[in-house]
Structure 1
Amino acid sequence: MKRFDIKEITGVIPAMISVFDENEEVDVQKTEHLVDFLLEQNVGGFYLTGSTGEGFLMTGEERKLVVETVVRRVNGRKPVIVHVGDIGTKKSIDLAKHAYKVGADAISSVPPFYWKFSEQDIYNYYKDIAEATPLPMIVYNVPLAGLMGTDLLVKLSQHENIKGLKFTGKDHDQMSHLKDLLGEDFMIYSGCDEMAFSGLSVGTDGIIGSFYNVMPELFIGIDETVKAGELAKGVRLQKIGTEIIFAALKYDYIALMRNMLSWQGVDAGYSRRPFTNYKDCELDAFKEALLKIKEKYEVTEVAFLNKVSK
């Protein structure tokens, strides 16, 4: 099976949700169906078992099952990044080695969290994982786990196997500065869905995010407008996406995205507790907000909106 070079991992990359059945077990068949749906949308790749993928609600063996299922189904057609982050280095190395064994193209991780680790602790964490396999490591800078400063990120970038950064902060001036500072060969991915246009505009190599599961066509459109220099079109698309996201953030959005997928004919199962799973009859206010957005922008670019009715 082909492995993609890190420079080939670009474009719109969904942080894929993990699909569970009503008993909260990994649903392999429905996972495969979601992969098929996203491949049909021509996404740029897959980012697995991260925050959106409820990775921290799964055992290591369950995370491995999701990775095996997706890698097998993708079958080398698109690159697969596996988030291996956990609270301990040993656990993360085990997940990294598994990702390499089954054919993933890159690994990624949040920094160690919960305890207040020093910068040296964080550097050692990434160094140890990066040296455990030949796969390129993508560092994940995210507020939920604690944002790392520029000096630490520069130090990490100097490790031969640390090849990229997923940047989910909103200070895109820093992200642009890092891209200039670290050079063309160091990949930077914008991780804030509601700022995808901004991230792409300042020169990032791709975008990785949650809502690309449910409206990948919108964000692929943003990517295309930036590349074509059609900035007004890109701004409009981003405004549509942002308003949909803000409406969704009033709910447990990871669970809510399953409803949004079901409106497109994709059964994405359930989220794990303590997330709330919604019945469609509980989403009247959300649907009303979506219809207002559709009318306001005369939206035709978002497939699931065409399925929404009061």
Structure 2
Amino acid sequence: MKQTELKGIICPILTPMNADESINVEELRIQVDRMIDNGIHGIFPFGTNGEGYILSAKEKQLVLETVVDQCNGRVPIYAGTGAISTKETIEQSKMAQELGVDVLSIITPSFAAASQEELYVHYKTVAEAVETPIVLYNIPARTGNALSPGTIGRLAEIENIIGAKDSSGNFSNILGYIGAGQKKTDGNFYTLSGNDQLIIWTLLAGGTGGIAGCANVYPHTMASIYDLFMEGKVEEAKKVNESIQSFRDCFKYGNPNTIVKTATRLLGYNVGSCRAPFNQVPEEGIEAIKRVLAENKEKGMH
């Protein structure tokens, strides 16, 4: 198994699209370089911001091949390979493993309600089918299924399940994950915040970083939260983490990943729109995003 530390600010990179909704491979390469040049510590295709929920298997392979090639080993690559069925999750995980990714990020199954035992067996079965390290991905507001800290503790005992990302927005849940992971007997277990606002607090509690959608808009700013923390500049890191709140306030105007992609486009990058139907932002939302981007540029955020 690859030895990979899950740490720092990982960007769930956007999937740039052309006007016909095909993948814009050239722009994807530009975005990979932009993230790395601004200090991002890992690249994560097919997160919520990468629209993994709406891409075909063939498109995912194209995106992943492009990211792996462009990244060229400069930072770890986390591939979102979760699907509703165990069978498809294994297929996607093996595809990503063959392409040489460093970590598999596996979201909980969605739509149909799953018991904790069903979730445990699902992840255990996938883990036994691959050798690549796995980070569990909890985002119950989107999937309808939540991984309890107790289930995290059981799964942490499986050798290649090495971490969890919590996007519930519930800090007590993150604390539960950190506590459960400390029981892993054969090595480290890493807990990452999936909520951008909670990154510094997760680090202070013993977590190791975050997977941050806002990094697509402010890669340098987001990466500096972790860098400042590691330098012992905790108060500065807190202030930087707080600085993204004005942008996050724009999320009320639409789907958060639609707002993130719209903002990236308004910065001048040819990332296109989110795939329909999840691509609408009202005019007042566009104006609010433009205003916040201008204000934050004045503050030096980028």
TM-score under structure 2 normalisation? Answer: 0.90
User: CA 1:116–1:279 in 2, change beyond 3 Å: closer, same or farther?
Assistant: closer
1:168 aligns with 2:171: no
Give 2:299's aligned residue. 299
1:179: how far off? 2.1
Number of residue pairs aligned between Structure 1 and Structure 2:
296
User: CA 1:117–1:174 in 2, change beyond 3 Å: closer, same or farther?
Assistant: closer
1:116-265, aligned counterparts within 5 Å?
116-143=113-140, 144-145=142-143, 146-183=145-182, 185-265=188-268
* Contact 1:81 1:105 (C-alpha < 8 Å) held by counterparts: yes
Post-superposition Cα deviations, 1:222-267, rounded to whole Å, max 9, x if no partner, equal 2123223333322222221122111244233323333432444422
User: CA 1:12–1:102 in 2, change beyond 3 Å: closer, same or farther?
Assistant: same
Letter in 2 for 1:107: L
Letter in 2 for 1:59: S
Letter in 2 for 1:6: T
* Contact 1:256 1:277 (C-alpha < 8 Å) held by counterparts: no
1:36 aligns with 2:39: no
* Contact 1:259 1:280 (C-alpha < 8 Å) held by counterparts: no
* Contact 2:266 2:290 (C-alpha < 8 Å) held by counterparts: no
Letter in 2 for 1:154: G
3-state SS, counterpart of residue 131 of structure 1: helix
User: CA 1:53–1:263 in 2, change beyond 3 Å: closer, same or farther?
Assistant: same
Letter in 1 for 2:81: V
User: CA 1:282–1:201 in 2, change beyond 3 Å: closer, same or farther?
Assistant: closer
3-state SS, counterpart of residue 274 of structure 1: coil
1:41: how far off? 0.9
User: CA 1:181–1:153 in 2, change beyond 3 Å: closer, same or farther?
Assistant: closer
Letter in 2 for 1:165: A
| Paired-residue identity, % | 24
1:207: how far off? 0.8
Q: Which moved more, 1:279-288 or 1:267-276?
A: 279-288
Q: Which moved more, 1:192-201 or 1:77-86?
A: 192-201
Q: Which moved more, 1:236-245 or 1:219-228?
A: 219-228
TM-align CA RMSD = 2.3
1:2-13, aligned counterparts within 5 Å?
5-7=3-5, 9-13=6-10
User: CA 1:243–1:104 in 2, change beyond 3 Å: closer, same or farther?
Assistant: same
What runs of 5+ residues in structure 2 fail to find an aligned partner?
none
1:289: how far off? 4.5
**Whole-angstrom CA distance in 2 between matches of 1:163 and 1:45:** 16
Letter in 2 for 1:167: D
**Whole-angstrom CA distance in 1 between matches of 2:110 and 2:255:** 22
**Whole-angstrom CA distance in 2 between matches of 1:113 and 1:162:** 20
3-state SS, counterpart of residue 276 of structure 2: coil
Letter in 1 for 2:275: R
**Whole-angstrom CA distance in 1 between matches of 2:271 and 2:296:** 24
1:6: how far off? 2.1
3-state SS, counterpart of residue 16 of structure 1: coil
**Whole-angstrom CA distance in 2 between matches of 1:174 and 1:208:** 16
Give 1:306's aligned residue. none
User: CA 1:28–1:277 in 2, change beyond 3 Å: closer, same or farther?
Assistant: farther
* Contact 1:4 1:79 (C-alpha < 8 Å) held by counterparts: no
TM-score under structure 1 normalisation? Answer: 0.87
**Whole-angstrom CA distance in 1 between matches of 2:264 and 2:289:** 14
3-state SS, counterpart of residue 244 of structure 2: helix
